[in-house]
């Protein structure tokens, strides 16, 4: 499993191409040959950029779902809607397809935000709004999500 770090800004040109920052490109370098997957986020108006190895791990989990259960089949269809295989071009740019640009409202200013093993790609205004909207509730969320996690090495939570 990879651990991507950082938040980076970029600008999309008229065709939806974005030059990745040198720091982000350096982290992604070991994965360039395998390619990436770009998809709509389930919970937010942003895109999720998966290194192919991480996508394959996720798809192995999804593939365990019984497709003869309607909810599972509906989930798979929605989860994979708009999924695209992506490669960086020779200039190190990422091309975001038009349908995904529209979904995430990406026009000019973009934020790449690491989310452990994937990168979220946001329209900058939407990203700032999402961060601001969650600021007041973050302490409660952190306690709820991480408050019961115990480090097995030393018993400290």
Range of the domain at 118: 7-124
Beta bridge partners of 121: 47, 112
Inform me whether the pLDDT recorded for 52 exceeds 90: yes
Question: Which pLDDT score, from 0 to 100, does residue 153 have?
Answer: 59
> Residue 103: how many CB atoms within 10 A of its CB?
18
Task: Indicate the pLDDT class of residue 142, thresholds 50, 70 and 90.
Answer: confident
Beta bridge partners of 86: 36
Asked, for residue 147, whether it belongs to a domain, the answer is no
Question: Which pLDDT score, from 0 to 100, does residue 104 have?
Answer: 95
Inform me whether the pLDDT recorded for 157 exceeds 60: no
Specify the number of domains making up the chain: 1
Asked, for residue 89, whether it belongs to a domain, the answer is yes
Model confidence pLDDT, tens digit, residues 78-104: 999 989 999 888 888 999 999 999 999
Question: Which pLDDT score, from 0 to 100, does residue 155 have?
Answer: 54
Of 30-39, 85-94, 146-155, which gets the smallest average pLDDT?
146-155
Provide the CATH number for the domain around residue 99.
3.40.1550.20
Q: What angle do CA 13, 41, 38 make, to 5 degrees?
A: 55
Model confidence pLDDT, tens digit, residues 120-141: 999 999 999 988 877 777 777 7
Q: For residue 52, give the H/E element and its range.
A: helix 52-62
Model confidence pLDDT, tens digit, residues 99-122: 999 999 998 999 999 998 999 999
Q: Which two tokens stand for residue 57?
A: 């791990």
């Amino acid at each position: 499993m990879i651990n991507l770090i950082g938040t980076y800004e970029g600008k999309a040109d008229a065709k939806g191409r974005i030059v990745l920052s040198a720091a982000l490109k350096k982290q992604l370098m070991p994965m360039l040959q395998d390619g990436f997957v770009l998809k709509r986020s389930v919970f937010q108006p942003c895109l999720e950029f998966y290194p192919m190895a991480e996508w394959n791990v996720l798809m192995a989990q999804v593939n365990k779902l019984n497709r003869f259960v309607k909810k599972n089949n509906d989930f798979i269809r929605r989860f994979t809607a708009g999924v695209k295989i992506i490669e960086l071009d020779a200039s190190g740019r990422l091309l975001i397809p038009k349908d995904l640009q529209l979904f995430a409202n990406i026009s000019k200013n973009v934020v790449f935000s690491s989310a452990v093993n994937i990168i979220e790609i946001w329209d900058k205004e939407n990203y700032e709004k999402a961060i601001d909207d969650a600021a007041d509730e973050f302490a409660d969320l952190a306690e709820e999500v991480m408050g019961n996690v115990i480090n097995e090495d030393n018993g400290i939570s």
